[in-house]
Structures are given as C-alpha cells and as structure tokens.
Structure 1
Amino acid sequence: MGFGLVVRFVARDVTAAHAFDRLAREALKGIRTREPGTLVYVSHAVPDEPRVRVFYELYADREAFEEHERQPHVRRFLAERGQYLESFEVTFLDEIDGKGSSTHGGGR
C-alpha cells in the first residue's frame, strides 16, 4: 500500500520562492538517482500565488519514506529550507485506491 504526503510551502517573498526552487531542484537530483522507493516527488507552483509551492510525494511504503528522510540530499534540503519560508504544512496520506496507484483492486 502506498504512503504519501502533500506539503504546502509559503515563501517569505517571490525572490525566496525562486531560491527555494533551486534548493528543491538540487534535492530532486538525488531523489531521482538514489531513491527507488520514492515513486513520485513533484514540486508544483500555484497559479496566482507566486510565493506558494506544493510538493506531492508518493512512496512504495512507510519504510521507503523513512529511507528518503535519511538521505544526505534530503537532510540538506530540510536543514536549509527554513531560510526561505514563512510557513509550511504537511498532510500525510494513506492510499485507498486509484489509477497508477500501488493498490490493485477495490480499495480497503
């Protein structure tokens, strides 16, 4: 069963949002090459809200998420992101069913 989360970040200003994007791109390089259990990791801009970014993350399972959190490229992102942010909010998700999901069949 997949494990996911959505994170909404609000940058201090538009300049900080662009710097945050650069930091996220650096982390994504490691995520793409070193994290087979990270199935989806996407950074989104929000139309008409230039300071807001939303990350959608989907992992094979909770253990894959925990492995993700231990990676040096993620540790750097977590340590440095605060300088650009006004706030952030994390919502954890437990998969029920869906297209492209790790669940095969009619939900729980």
Structure 2
Amino acid sequence: MFAIAVRFDLPDEGAAAAFDDLVARTVPGILAEEPGTLTYVPHRVEGEPLARLFYEEYTDRDAHAAHEARPATAEFLRRVRELVTSVRAELLSPLR
C-alpha cells in the first residue's frame, strides 16, 4: 500500500468555495474509474477554514502514478493551481 496526505491552503472564502465545488465534481470519477485507488477522502481542517487536506491510499506506487496520469487528474491539478496559495504533499509509510 502507498498513502499520501496533501494539504491545500486557499487565499479566501471564494477560492475555498470554488475548490470545494471542483472537488465535489472530481472525486466521484476518481473513485469510480481508478481500481488502484483504495481511499480518496478530502477533508476540511478544523480551525483553519481556508485549508483542505486529502488523505489518499493506493494499492501501490504504480496505482498512484496511474491516478496522476489520468487526464481528469491533470485538469483538476491545473485548476487547483489557480485557486491555492500553497500545496504540501506528505508521502506516508505505515508503522509496522
């Protein structure tokens, strides 16, 4: 398994609303069309109304690469770059 957490910081409430709308339109396709995507859950960050965090789990790194290679994902990321002030990705490894 391969997991990633991605934090997005937004400049204002308008950008946050646009981001949330984009997410609502994009996530169903990810879950329906990517068999290697096990979990893809966007979150609001408590106490930080202009922050969002995605928790993503994939069967392996190849499944994540397939997710990143989808045209819909590329379009999502292009539109996200127009809305956010920063993005931080953390690659996660389970404790064993």
In the superposition, the TM-score normalised over structure 1's length comes to 0.84
Three-state SS of the structure 2 residue aligned to 1:36 is coil
- Superposed, 1:16-95 pairs within 5 Å as 16-95=15-94
Residue by residue, what CA displacement relative to the aligned partner does 1:9-38 show, whole Å, maximum 9, x if unpaired?
100111101101111122212101100100
Q: Report how many aligned residue pairs link the two structures.
A: 96
Aligned-pair RMSD on alpha carbons? 1.0
Query: Partners in 2 of 1:72 and 1:23 — Cα distance?
Result: 15
> For 1:32 and 1:22, how far apart are their aligned partners in 2?
17
Runs of 4+ in structure 1 over 3 Å off: none
Gaps of 5+ in 1: 97-106
Q: Percent same amino acid at aligned positions?
A: 41
1:26 touches 1:73 (CA, 8 Å); kept in 2? no
Which deviates more from structure 2 when the two are superposed, residues 24-33 or residues 34-43? Answer: 24-33
| CA-CA distance at 1:86 after TM superposition | 0.8
Structure 2: give runs of 5+ residues left out of the alignment: none
Partners of 1:21 and 1:72 in 2: CA distance: 20
* Bigger CA radius of gyration: 1
Amino acid at match of 1:69: E
**Deviation per residue, 1:42-78 (Å, 9 max, x gap):** 0000122110000000000001000001112211111
TM-score (norm 2): 0.93
